[in-house]
A and B are shown apart, each in its own frame.
Chain A
Amino acid sequence: MNQKQIIKNLPYQKPFLFVDEITEISENGVTGNYTFKENEFFYEGHFKDNPITPGVILTETMAQIGVVCLGIYLLKDAILSEGKTTKIALTSNNIDFYLPVNPNEKVTVVSERVYFRFNKLKCNVKMINSKNELVCRGTIAGMLVI
């Protein structure tokens, strides 16, 4: 399964799809990126007259690239052969934030698999900005069922 097919198999769409590109993927991890557009829906309210990407959206971006894209890759044989979609649920996350992300910033998410067992995928995930500075990092886990 190539990176375009993985993105196509994601259960999200605008305005809640936060994956532009997958640049590296293997059984052990994934790297991908997203550029926050100036007109993202949440900038209108976060914050008043001072648009900054909310931490929950950064977490969501890390989860979509780092856990869900990787999960789809790990389940690719079943998805391709049975033509089914993946049911997913976030089950836990623990993230520390270091730098803000402004509109028009491109962020890269790097995720390493901790384990994928009994349908639960747990990853160590970090986000870096275009200056290669750490934006946030932590662990995210979810359940993935075909």
Chain B
Amino acid sequence: MNKEQIIVKLTTIVKPYIQNEEGFKNMSEETDFINDLEINSANLVDIILDVEDEFKIEIDNDSMEKMLSVKATIEIIQTKMNA
């Protein structure tokens, strides 16, 4: 799966949890979940569980801690999917 396809899926996943509409409209690879979208830590867990279901992967604690931006999340998804 390429970056663009992952971003499309991620956009759908994060939508219910965002607080910052402006940040969401401009969501790109550079977007930070907490600073740009104002997602809280509890909802970040929901996003990670949704990512696991959507991409059929398992996220461990180390990966979870890195998944704070779209870019890092794409990298983790791609690595896990190709593992």
**Which A residues are closer than 8 A to B by beta carbons?**
89, 91-92, 115, 117-120, 141-143
Q: Mark B8-36, 1 if CB is under 8 A from A, else 0.
A: 00000000000000000000000000000
Chain B residue with the shortest CB-CB distance to A143: B42
Return A5 CB to nearest CB of chain B, in Å.
Answer: 27
Asked if B49 contacts A115 (CB within 8 A), the reply is yes
**A120-B42, A141-B42 known; 13 other A-B pairs, CB under 8 Å?**
A91-B42, A92-B42, A115-B49, A117-B48, A117-B49, A118-B44, A118-B48, A118-B61, A118-B64, A119-B45, A120-B45, A120-B46, A143-B41
SS class, residues of chain B in contact with chain A: helix
Residue on B nearest A120 in the bound complex, by CB: B45
Q: Interface centre among B41, B42, B48, B49, by most A CB within 10 Å?
A: B42
Please name the residue on chain A nearest to B52 by beta carbon.
A117
Give bound CA distance, A105 to B42, whole Å. 34
With A and B bound together, what is the CA distance between A117 and B61 in angstroms?
9
- Asked whether, in the complex, the Cβ of B42 is within 8 Å of the Cβ of A117, the reply is no
